[in-house]
Amino acid sequence: MTDQNDRPVVAIDRLTVRYGRTTAVADLTLQVAAGRVYALLGRNGAGKTSILRCLLGQRRTAAGSVRLFGLDAWRHRARLMERVGVVPERGEVPPDMTARRLATLLSALHPTWHGKDFEDRLDRFQIPTNRRFRQLSKGQQRQLSLSLALACRPALLVLDDPTLGLDAVARRELLEELIGDLADHGTTVLVATNDISGIEGVADRIGILHGGVLLLDDDLEAVKARFRRLVVSNRETVQRLREATGERLEVVRSSASGGGYEAVVAWSELPEPTAAMPGSRLEAMSLEDIFVALCGTENGGQP
């Protein structure tokens, strides 16, 4: 029998989401273990928000299941949301409410409310407690939403594009606050975003979503170790390298470049493949480079 402590906080099994005849998410399976930070990466329209709506019990699945803490997210929504903090893509805070008034309301609703944590974050973010939500900047609104979610000490924190539209300073402050809370409390986090460079320093596992399909689901360091930019003299060299590695070298994307040839390649459990082909070289790739190689198309993501 599986120990309850080993059960994933989030368990999505063969999830399909449809809007009329349009399939937004197709047969998606992923898990988020306790204490992990899972980043679901995808372009606008890739299906990220649809997944989060099912996760938060806001939408029924067309097929498959979504479970939080072992319970069905749709049937047990009210019970589960007591343990979940949410920072939505667009603020759902009443526009005329102040931070002080919001703290009063939430402290009465959540027995786990930590008022000092909330006040300390407002001080760090320099958010006035008596200003209406609609009068705050976009960055301050996001920071206030994060402060409200974290003050409830959630077992799971769900963030939908938390840095969308923020300037560089507000973006860094928000991510640093998130990192600090994770270090202090070990909160489990699922963040859906297309801010690849920002989340790279926070997440330990990633999923890459494109057109409603999960292309990749692995630990961040394993992903970065697997993909390389291969620079060779011509297209035929790539094929010879594939043959030298027993066809286990996957070519993700390729193009002519500066009189030579470049290919984004992936492999696993192989020695460096260029050892078999003098004159070729491999270059490390950032997570953003890998994402663009997998998801970069002229038409972009699915609506």
Residues 6+ apart with CB under 8 A from 250: 265, 266, 267
pLDDT tops 80 at residue 178? yes
Q: Express each pLDDT in 140-174 by its tens digit.
A: 998 999 999 999 999 999 999 888 888 888 888 88
Mean pLDDT over residues 197-226, rounded?
92
Q: Express each pLDDT in 100-120 by its tens digit.
A: 999 999 898 888 899 999 999
Give the per-residue pLDDT at 299. Answer: 37
pTM of the model: 0.87
pLDDT tops 90 at residue 13? yes
Burial 263-291 (b: 16+ CB within 10 A, else e): bbbbbeeeeebbeebeebeeeebebebbb
| Token digits of residue 16 | 């399909």
Sorted by where each starts, the structural domains of the chain and their CATH numbers stand as 4-203 (3.40.50.300), 222-295 (3.30.70)
Conformation bin of residue 186: beta by default, left when phi > 0, alpha when psi is -120 to 50: left
Coil/strand/helix, residue 79 = helix
